[in-house]
Amino acid sequence: MKLVLASSSPRRLELLGRLGVKPDRIMSPDIDETPLEAELPRDYVIRMAQEKAAAVERADDEILIAGDTIVAVGRRILGKADNDAEQRQFLKLMGGRRHHTMSAVCVIAADGTARTKLSDSTIKFKRFDDQEIEGYIKSGEGQGKAGGYAIQGLAEAFVISISGSFSGIMGLPLYETRNLLISSGYPLNQDGD
């Protein structure tokens, strides 16, 4: 059985590798990622994963996996930080309070059946001072990442608490992904051995 990864994210590729999975093909979906008016974060991230999966062509003998990750503060969706000013705004908003990182995974089986799962994790950062924010921005680590930070890097030192999936915060929740692949007929080691 062949696997297609509908993502250009190096983190998703790395995380699939932790499951012992290497995609046979990688295709980056080209979709409009603009949230709909009044769309809730969880509805948005699920829709994005499903639209990314649907946007990549799949042969009859291929299983396809797509995912999307967002950061949400209340009902506000924080996408990828496009510049220093936006990243600064995101970090100030999240400092000293809880936020959610939601990762949705959509797997389309060889028979065309699509299955989607959502991982919702809660993170609380320390309250940032301006020097910490500027130092983090200068590192370049959070550019192009949901919420303007990478949990697996320097930002991990700012975390007071996490409830949920660390891999989901990184961009691909491994528990949900493993179960979706197995239920879609992808030959994974199911014993954990």
Catalytic residues: 68
Q: Which of 55, 47, 44, 42 is nearest to 6 (CA)?
A: 55
Query: How many Å apart are CA 12 and CA 174, to the nearest integer?
Result: 10
